[in-house]
Structure 1
Amino acid sequence: MDLAWMCSLLLAVVISCLIYSSWNMMYKQRNLPPGPTPFPVVGNILHIKRGQLVKSLMEFAEKYGSVYTIYFGHNPVIVLAGYETVKEALVDRTEVFSGRGAMPTFDQFFQGYGLAFVNGERWKDLRRFSLTVLRNFGMGRKPVEERIQEEAGLLVERIRSCKEKSIDPTNFLLQAVSNIICTIVFGNRFEYDNKGFRQLLTLFSAIFKDISGPWGQLLDMLPGIMCYIPGPHKRIQTNLEKLEKFIFERVDMHKTTLDINSPRDYIDCFLIKQQMRDSPHFSTENLTKGIMNLFFAGTETITTTLRSAFLILVKYPEIQAKLHEEIDRVIGENHIPSTQDRSRMPYMDAVTHEVQRFSDILPLNLPHAVTQNTNFKGYIIPKGTVVYPLLCSVLHDPKEFSTPHKFNPDHFLDNNGCFKKNNAFMPFSAGKRVCSGESLARMEIFIYLAIILKNFTLTSETEFTEEDIKPRRTGFANAPMSYKISFIPRAVSL
């Protein structure tokens, strides 16, 4: 019996060695960038610290350089790190790197529909349409700026009602920010106490949390295995389905009241385009899933940026004081902050940029893919290969920012105190896949922050450290720590 057991064990070891040797030889024959040697079946998952995908990828960059390869299962993934390398791919060779790479946490639901997770002509048609509609109903036009100002005013009143109590501002911010997308997409805002609206936002937050957590990271790295394993990652699909049901109901309501001569919002414009039948891509499924993409881009990310800003300003009261001085001097008592004021407020402009750089909301970027076989820095990357351009490595590149891991508005100020641009500022990505709502997001961040600071001083009984204000790096999305602060009314008010 012992001899049989020893023979079986020996045979298993020999077979394992043969499999590993064959895999290793096949892996090394590819002219891909260097990286940690993968194991059969699981790839490099054992090299990645549990729940710390971003940190692990950054550590690999230190060891293997600005271009390296890791394996999610048997699939190679090319990782790009540092401003110069990411710029060369996304900006200088934008067409080649403009594909959307696989992201199983979303792909199992979106299945090639929508706006963010599609490729080819479908992506080009839908992106062109969405940019046009957002421009007409949102970006760069006075009406949406007025909506943001009005919503900010309502947010101020909601905060005032707390009477200087210490609160977690997350829900207030999420509701205020989401209402801007709601007015563009649905044609109306929701009251903060609307039950359906609050359930909708709860679903968005839960999805972001599950995707960024350890189980969501495992699903992205080993989808063929994780789809058979129970766990929190199973909630992602369920919650996405609940979201789509809510949007389907809104679309059906629009169909019954549609006036093709007077479109009210994004849904109306899409339905009118659908009736024209000049493109096969304007299906109801692309509409509902495209709206979900817009909400993901325009709710959690902006809310998280503002949450980070509040925490940072409590930590650095001297920065907050300089912002108050500039707001009082430029805005005054009777004027509502607008984007036109930005050019006269270099310090506010620098702080908002630095908040976005430092908070690093989407550290991994959405995955890209090369659209053709390409030679990149001496390596051959086959068509369709997934590419991760690490935005965190760009926003914290020591060659581009003097104190990359510290909050420092001087990164965006020259010696005369004037605002200065930095090409490594890529929180919205770059190239053809740059976030379609960038202008809208920047408008919201500036106006919300300016109006809140015009009305309040932010304080806390907690003394936050530099470590406390750093983004919590996990997976898909970063977020600040949970906190409570007080909003103390100022003499100069809205």
Structure 2
Amino acid sequence: MMLTWELSLVLLVFLLILRFLKQLWTCRHLPPGPLPLPLIGSMWRTGFKLCEDSLSELAKQYGNIYTVWIGHHPVVILSGYQTVKEGLIKYSEEFSGRLVINFFKMALKRRGLVLSNGRTWKQHRRFSVVTMRKLGLGKKGMERQIEEEAHWLVETFARANGQPLDPLLPITNAVSTMICMLSFGYRFSLEDEKFQKLIDAVDYVLKFGGSPFHALLELFPWLMLHLPGPHQKALSSTQLVLSFAKTEIEKHKECLTIHEPQDFTDFYLLQIEKSKGDPTSTYNEENLSECIFDLFVAGTETTATALQWALLLMVAYPDIQDKVHKEIDDVLGSPHSICFQDRKRLPYTNAVIHEVLRVKYALPIGIPRRSVKDVNMHGFIIPKNTIIVTDLCSVLHDPKQWENPKEFNPQNFLDKDGNFMAREEFLPFGAGHRVCLGEQMAKMELFFFFTKLLRAFRLQLPEGVTEKELKIEPVMGLSFHPYPFKLCAVPRCGTSSST
């Protein structure tokens, strides 16, 4: 019996070595990278949790295109502005596939906007772009809704009466409410228990991403699915969001007016009706519920995180905060309704918002893609179905493009005369076929929320808290968000919170 076990162990080790050697031979034309080990791949070098400089250190050693391994899967990393731009634009079609990780395979059905591929993705991408325009994205209709929500956010800050306030919950509520307006046509009360459960579920899914348990789930899905742990709560949280969406879909079906669609759900249900009998149609209620899930997950985290960073940096750099307030006060006066076009009259404020997105990016990497055909890039053969990851941090902090890239400096977006200067190296929303669908909405939200708050309040540290205690390093995870903090929103003299 002992001999049988020994032979089995020797055979297992032999098979692992054989698979390892076959893996190396099959991918010998891929870009260089850390030596992959059986089972864990390159994680011995990168770790199970992404750090702020982990990818940049690899790029220094292996170049701007290199390979890391997650288990037995090769992942090609594109680093630096020029390489990332080439991958996203020159090879936009070739790298237009979407990787579906094991977590989402378990939780979803590879549908919707973000995770779909092929005909499903193309139809839904086109439909979503057209529908968002119909709903007023980039127009006065959407502006009024965002300005109204900015007003309620100011009111929430004002109720703290200048006392220490954690901005996370009111900011998240405001951004999530805008997704509700887009998806369902109305806002939920902040006291609504179902709405709060929805926000908590979205938050849990996002915090689970990039965690050690998430890494274990990706490496050993067959095992982790039957074990208890945070991954089980993350899976149930996903189902809670989908259930919330399906409930709202049923309500919309009861009240649907063909000639007067009011929101994304209305337009989608009408599209299902129009597409009946079309064998190529991918429009159905399951896809709609996953589209709504995508809108909440993608539309809440990045915008809410960016606004948190903006307020934290204003506390950390009071001189910049004063310049922003002075420009708003001088240009707009009070009272004055703000519109999105005002950003052109507020170059310094606009530069500050862009610099926040650059220096404190919410997503360190772009959502992983998959090559849909073989690609020869920089002399390396990237086979079809290879996972492609863009290192956005390396673009926004590229020392060849930005002077002192890790320093917060709004002058990066101003010319010598103080005029706002757009920069093609600014790619926090990605580029190409898979560019962020909600980029315009996110920019509008950040402008209105930030400008309204800076106009109404002076943001400062609570009494007894020193600048040395203020953490401006990110918490590492799927997104890079600030450590929990509190600030005091002191009303500006002569400024009404109703602005």
TM-score band, normalised by the shorter chain?
over 0.9
1:59 pairs with 57, 60, 69, which one? 57
Pairing 1:297-376 to 2, within 5 Å after superposition? 297-376=298-377
1:272 pairs with 252, 270, 273, which one? 270
Question: Which residue of structure 1 aligns with residue 134 of structure 2?
Answer: 136
Q: CA deviation at 1:231?
A: 2.1
Q: Contact between 2:100 and 2:110, CA under 8 Å: does it hold in 1?
A: no
2:13 pairs with 6, 12, 16, which one? 16
From the superposition, tell whether residues 220 and 330 of structure 1 become closer, same or farther in structure 2 (CA, over 3 Å).
Answer: farther
CA-based RMSD: 2.2
Question: Which residue of structure 1 aligns with residue 432 of structure 2?
Answer: 431
Q: In structure 1, what residue type is equivalent to 2:77?
A: V
Q: In structure 2, what residue type is equivalent to 1:254?
A: H
Question: Which residue of structure 2 aligns with residue 146 of structure 1?
Answer: 144
How many angstroms apart in 2 are the aligned matches of 1:377 and 1:20? 30
Number of aligned pairs? 490
Question: Which residue of structure 1 aligns with residue 285 of structure 2?
Answer: 284
Q: In structure 1, what residue type is equivalent to 2:418?
A: G
Question: Which residue of structure 2 aligns with residue 471 of structure 1?
Answer: 474
TM, length-normalised to structure 2: 0.93
User: What is the SS of the residue equivalent to 1:212?
Assistant: coil
User: What is the SS of the residue equivalent to 2:209?
Assistant: helix
1:236 pairs with 227, 234, 243, which one? 234
Question: Which residue of structure 2 aligns with residue 392 of structure 1?
Answer: 393
2:24 pairs with 22, 27, 41, which one? 27
Q: In structure 1, what residue type is equivalent to 2:261?
A: P
After TM superposition, the structure 1 stretch with the greater mean CA deviation from structure 2, 323-332 or 174-183, is: 174-183
Q: In structure 2, what residue type is equivalent to 1:311?
A: L
From the superposition, tell whether residues 18 and 99 of structure 1 become closer, same or farther in structure 2 (CA, over 3 Å).
Answer: closer
User: What is the SS of the residue equivalent to 1:375?
Assistant: strand
Q: Contact between 1:114 and 1:287, CA under 8 Å: does it hold in 2?
A: yes
Q: Contact between 1:54 and 1:364, CA under 8 Å: does it hold in 2?
A: no
Question: Which residue of structure 2 aligns with residue 212 of structure 1?
Answer: 210
Structure 1 segments of 4 or more deviating over 6 A?
Answer: 7-11
After TM superposition, the structure 1 stretch with the greater mean CA deviation from structure 2, 190-199 or 460-469, is: 460-469
User: What is the SS of the residue equivalent to 2:305?
Assistant: helix
Question: Which residue of structure 2 aligns with residue 174 of structure 1?
Answer: 172
1:48 pairs with 41, 46, 49, which one? 46
Q: CA deviation at 1:216?
A: 1.9
Q: CA deviation at 1:86?
A: 0.6
From the superposition, tell whether residues 133 and 8 of structure 1 become closer, same or farther in structure 2 (CA, over 3 Å).
Answer: closer
Q: CA deviation at 1:467?
A: 7.9
1:193 pairs with 170, 181, 191, which one? 191
From the superposition, tell whether residues 221 and 402 of structure 1 become closer, same or farther in structure 2 (CA, over 3 Å).
Answer: farther
Q: CA deviation at 1:21?
A: 6.1
Q: Contact between 1:32 and 1:381, CA under 8 Å: does it hold in 2?
A: yes
Question: Which residue of structure 1 aligns with residue 246 of structure 2?
Answer: 248
After TM superposition, the structure 1 stretch with the greater mean CA deviation from structure 2, 214-223 or 441-450, is: 214-223
Q: CA deviation at 1:53?
A: 5.6
User: What is the SS of the residue equivalent to 2:376?
Assistant: strand
From the superposition, tell whether residues 216 and 123 of structure 1 become closer, same or farther in structure 2 (CA, over 3 Å).
Answer: same
How many angstroms apart in 2 are the aligned matches of 1:250 and 1:270? 13
Q: Contact between 1:211 and 1:233, CA under 8 Å: does it hold in 2?
A: no
After TM superposition, the structure 1 stretch with the greater mean CA deviation from structure 2, 252-261 or 273-282, is: 273-282
Q: In structure 2, what residue type is equivalent to 1:161?
A: R
From the superposition, tell whether residues 107 and 429 of structure 1 become closer, same or farther in structure 2 (CA, over 3 Å).
Answer: farther
After TM superposition, the structure 1 stretch with the greater mean CA deviation from structure 2, 293-302 or 251-260, is: 293-302
1:481 pairs with 483, 487, 493, which one? 483
Q: CA deviation at 1:414?
A: 1.3
Q: CA deviation at 1:100?
A: 0.8
Q: CA deviation at 1:336?
A: 2.1
Q: In structure 1, what residue type is equivalent to 2:472?
A: I
Q: Contact between 1:44 and 1:72, CA under 8 Å: does it hold in 2?
A: yes
After TM superposition, the structure 1 stretch with the greater mean CA deviation from structure 2, 34-43 or 344-353, is: 34-43
Q: CA deviation at 1:17?
A: 6.5
User: What is the SS of the residue equivalent to 2:459?
Assistant: strand
How many angstroms apart in 2 are the aligned matches of 1:266 and 1:454? 32
Question: Which residue of structure 2 aligns with residue 124 of structure 1?
Answer: 122
How many angstroms apart in 2 are the aligned matches of 1:124 and 1:11? 49
Q: Contact between 1:192 and 1:198, CA under 8 Å: does it hold in 2?
A: yes
Question: Which residue of structure 2 aligns with residue 455 of structure 1?
Answer: 456
Alpha-carbon displacement from aligned partner over 1:419-472 (angstroms, at most 9, x marks no partner): 112212111111110010100100000111000111000011323459821322
Q: CA deviation at 1:55?
A: 4.2
How many angstroms apart in 2 are the aligned matches of 1:396 and 1:150? 35
How many angstroms apart in 1 are the aligned matches of 2:395 and 2:38? 32
Q: Contact between 1:391 and 1:427, CA under 8 Å: does it hold in 2?
A: yes
2:200 pairs with 185, 202, 207, which one? 202
Q: Contact between 1:138 and 1:184, CA under 8 Å: does it hold in 2?
A: no
Alpha-carbon displacement from aligned partner over 1:315-357 (angstroms, at most 9, x marks no partner): 0000000001100011110212221111111111111001111
User: What is the SS of the residue equivalent to 1:239?
Assistant: helix
Q: CA deviation at 1:52?
A: 3.0
Q: In structure 2, what residue type is equivalent to 1:450?
A: T
